[in-house]
Amino acid sequence: MTSLSGPRTNFAPSVPQNLTELGISQSLVTDLMLRRLALEGFTTQAGLSHSLRLSIPIIDQVFKQLRQQQIIEVKGMIGNDYQFVLSQAGKQLASDRFQISQYAGACPVALKDYHAATKRQSARLNIDRRALRSAFADLVVPDRLLDQLGPALISQNSIFLYGPSGNGKTSIAERMLRVYQDAVLIPFAVEVDNQIISLYDPVVHHRIELDDENLDPRWVLCKRPCLVVGGELVPSMLELRLDESSGIYAGPMQMKANNGIFIIDDFGRQLMSPRDLLNRWIVPLDRRVDYLTLRYGVKFQIPFELLVVFSTNLDPSDLADEAFLRRIQNKIEIEPVSPQVFDMIYQRVVTSRNVPTEYDSAEYLRNLCLSNGRTELRACYPLDILNIISAISQYETRPVQVTKPDLERAVQLYFARR
């Protein structure tokens, strides 16, 4: 278990002990309690405290009011705690509140508290070439490229990775997260105008188990998020999405990626046109704030504290105009690999697979890849070719080994005829 007494995060909100400290209206807390009671039936103050991530004093304050209004009925005691259920009037009221929203999970945090937390947890990196080399240790990355990535990551401004396909742009982007040595607190949900936006997503946010009774339990300690989208990106993914059946909003992708990295892979080939995406984000990239709109027209501001990485094999000038490219301050070309780097990648691949090879097989493969008019070496070739050789060996029911005839067969399968 982790404790926040260590240098995990510079933000540690204490447990609210009253509604003023909570920052959420009593009516919303009451609705949460009613819906939770309807789901659980018999419960206790401790049970509601655990389910709604609220302190006992706040639960007790609302409990007393509901009891006075005969919305709940006390059925007994468990130690010093009440055991209670909804009365008939309470069941009707809970049913009415379910028609508005079915959310009955952790109490949300106020939008202003989410703003403050996200700003306080913005990434601040202090890295050098050695740290970067360690982060990218499983890739062959030349020092020249590391020396471009380092300042770009320290700046925390958006990054444009471009160059021919197959040279590791996506692999490099996904490993950028390794340079962060801290964690961040992410709320289960955020409240805006009495509406609830679900934010914590276990698919995106990798939780770190925490043992700290003094921390507001409405927040989850997580690794900094890294969210990757490709050709499936459409405009609706960048806006609030309301589930009509439950009445709960889902936070958009950039909101889930706050305090982390948002990678737009294969940029320019999305269902959403580059121009639409760039127009949508020209203000957020410049001012580090975004604007979202509730279904009934209320617009509000959220922080845009994330590192956006665009990865493309298209010419940047064909994708965006000068005004937008100016806002992407770091443009890094991932060039075709040199013969020396190609041989190092090849050696890593065959060593990791424990595959026997002939002494000059790296040079032989390199020459094959540069035959038939091809002029560039790609970082992906060694692994892709070895995978084909493995399939050939399996087909012929023999051990995998790299021979020159097998290299020739694999290369012939791999490259299209010109």
- Kindly state whether residue 10 falls inside one of the protein's structural domains: no
Domain boundary among 75, 106, 137: 106
- Kindly state whether residue 208 falls inside one of the protein's structural domains: yes
Q: Tally the domains of the chain.
A: 3
Domain containing 387 — which CATH number?
Answer: 1.10.8.60
Residues 213 and 323 both lie in one domain:
yes
Q: What is the pLDDT of residues 282-306, one digit of tens each?
A: 889 889 999 999 999 999 999 999 9
> φ, ψ for residue 46 (rounded to 5)?
-65, -40
Per DSSP, the residues of 319-362 read: HS-HHHHHH--EEEE-PPBPHHHHHHHHHHHHHHHT--B-TTHH
What element of type H or E holds 189? strand 189-192
Residues 344 and 323 both lie in one domain:
no
Q: What is the pLDDT of residues 17-39, one digit of tens each?
A: 999 999 999 999 999 999 999 99
Q: What is the pLDDT of residue 326?
A: 78
> φ, ψ for residue 23 (rounded to 5)?
80, 10
Residues 179 and 157 both lie in one domain:
yes
Residues 354 and 291 both lie in one domain:
no
- Kindly state whether residue 5 falls inside one of the protein's structural domains: no
> φ, ψ for residue 123 (rounded to 5)?
-70, 135
- CA neighbor of 153 nearest in space, from 124, 133, 182, 174: 124
- CA neighbor of 108 nearest in space, from 260, 253, 220: 220
What's the average model confidence in pLDDT over 74-100? 92
Q: Are 310 and 324 in contact (CB under 8 A)?
A: no
Domain boundary among 307, 333, 359: 333
Q: What is the pLDDT of residue 8?
A: 55
In which residue are the tokens 């005829």 written?
A: 417
Domain containing 41 — which CATH number?
Answer: 1.10.10.10
Domain boundary among 282, 317, 333: 333
Residues 323 and 357 both lie in one domain:
no
What's the average model confidence in pLDDT over 177-203? 95
Q: What is the pLDDT of residues 114-142, one digit of tens each?
A: 999 999 999 988 899 999 999 999 999 99
- CA neighbor of 20 nearest in space, from 55, 71, 67: 55
Q: Is the pLDDT of residue 7 over 50?
A: no
Greater pLDDT, 318 or 178: 178
The region of weakest confidence among 7-21, 22-36, 39-53 is 7-21
- Kindly state whether residue 102 falls inside one of the protein's structural domains: yes
Q: 76: which 2 tokens?
A: 């007994």
Residues 325 and 343 both lie in one domain:
no
What's the average model confidence in pLDDT over 1-15? 64
Residues 163 and 293 both lie in one domain:
yes
- Kindly state whether residue 17 falls inside one of the protein's structural domains: no
Q: Is the pLDDT of residue 98 over 70?
A: yes
- Kindly state whether residue 12 falls inside one of the protein's structural domains: no
Q: What is the pLDDT of residue 256?
A: 97
Secondary structure class of 166 (helix, strand, coil):
coil
Domain containing 129 — which CATH number?
Answer: 3.40.50.300
Q: What is the pLDDT of residue 170?
A: 92
Name the percent of the chain lying above pLDDT 90.
Answer: 79
Residues 184 and 291 both lie in one domain:
yes
Residues 64 and 166 both lie in one domain:
no
Q: Is the pLDDT of residue 5 over 50?
A: no
Per DSSP, the residues of 256-313 read: HTTTSEEEETTTT-SSS-HHHHHHHHHHHHHHSEEEEE-TTS-EEEEE---EEEEEES
Half-sphere exposure of 305 (CA within 13 A, CB side): 18
Strands 159-162 and 330-333: parallel
Residues 228 and 286 both lie in one domain:
yes
Q: 173: which 2 tokens?
A: 């982007």
Residues 242 and 350 both lie in one domain:
no
Q: What is the pLDDT of residue 3?
A: 46
- Kindly state whether residue 18 falls inside one of the protein's structural domains: no
Secondary structure class of 12 (helix, strand, coil):
coil
Residues 322 and 371 both lie in one domain:
no
Greater pLDDT, 318 or 293: 293
Q: What is the pLDDT of residue 270?
A: 80
Average per-residue pLDDT for the chain: 92
Q: Is the pLDDT of residue 71 over 60?
A: yes
Q: What is the pLDDT of residue 1?
A: 46
Q: 218: which 2 tokens?
A: 């409405």
Domain around 38:
25-106
Name residues whose C-beta falls within 8 Å of residue 325's C-beta, 6 or more positions apart in sequence: 160, 316, 317, 331
CA 328 from centre of chain: 20
Confidence of residue 278 (pLDDT cuts 50, 70, 90): confident
What's the average model confidence in pLDDT over 218-224? 96
- Kindly state whether residue 111 falls inside one of the protein's structural domains: no
